[in-house]
């Protein structure tokens, strides 16, 4: 009986930082509790092992299910709504976690002054241009309800034609 109480306390105290760990540890704790209960509550010695296996499997499934539900119930683990009013600012947001596509609001192209080169090198050296881009302010949603605000800034690009 002490083993069942100890395993029950172990099951209640298991908490994890990721869904995978919550499922694994919850399933292991539930399986241990189910196996201990099935073994100790079996009517005779002959049915002790089958009862431990059957109730261990049931406990494993119940523990994994409880680990999943307790993980999703924690506000730290849920996707929280963003705290920016959509009508307040006209800012583009990126809902996916891949690399965002940045569309500049304006671009200015400057030609670099040509350097006197020998005739044999003029065809081999491309002509450089400098493009100054104005990147607008944007908001990128991160994991666990966090938001990253990237202010408007200028970027410089060198292009060889």
Domain assignments of the chain as residue spans, ordered by start: 2-77, 92-160
β-pair type (128-135, 106-111): antiparallel
pLDDT tens across the length of the chain (161 residues): 666 666 565 555 555 667 788 888 888 888 888 998 888 888 888 988 999 999 999 999 998 888 888 777 666 655 555 555 555 444 455 555 555 667 788 888 888 877 777 888 777 777 888 889 888 888 877 777 778 888 888 988 888 77
Rounded-to-integer distance, Cα 61 and Cα 39, Å: 18
The answer to whether 149 touches 94, Cβ cutoff 8 Å, is no
One-letter-per-residue 3-state SS of the chain: CHHHHHHHHHHHHCCCCCHHHHHHHHHHHHHHHHHHHHHHCCCCCCCHHHHHHHHHHHHHHHHHHHHHHHHHHCHHHCCCCCCCCCCCCCCEEECCCCCCCCCCCEEEEEECCCCCCCHHHHCCCCCEEEEEEEECCEEEECHHHCEEEECCEEEEEEEEC
């Amino acid at each position: 009986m002490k083993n069942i109480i100890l395993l029950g306390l172990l099951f209640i105290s298991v908490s994890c930082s990721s869904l995978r760990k919550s499922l694994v540890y919850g399933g292991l704790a539930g399986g241990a509790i189910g196996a201990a209960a099935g073994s100790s509550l079996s009517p005779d010695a002959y049915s002790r092992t089958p009862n431990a296996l059957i109730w261990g499997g049931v406990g494993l499934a119940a523990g994994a299910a409880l680990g999943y539900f307790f993980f999703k119930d924690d506000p730290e683990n849920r996707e929280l709504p963003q705290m920016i009013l959509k009508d307040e600012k006209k800012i583009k947001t990126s809902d996916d976690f891949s690399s965002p596509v940045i569309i500049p609001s304006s671009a200015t192209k400057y030609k670099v002054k040509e350097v006197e080169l020998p005739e044999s090198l003029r065809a081999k050296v491309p002509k450089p241009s400098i493009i100054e881009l104005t990147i607008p302010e944007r908001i990128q949603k991160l994991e666990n309800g966090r938001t990253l605000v990237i202010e408007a800034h200028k970027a410089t690009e060198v292009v060889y034609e």
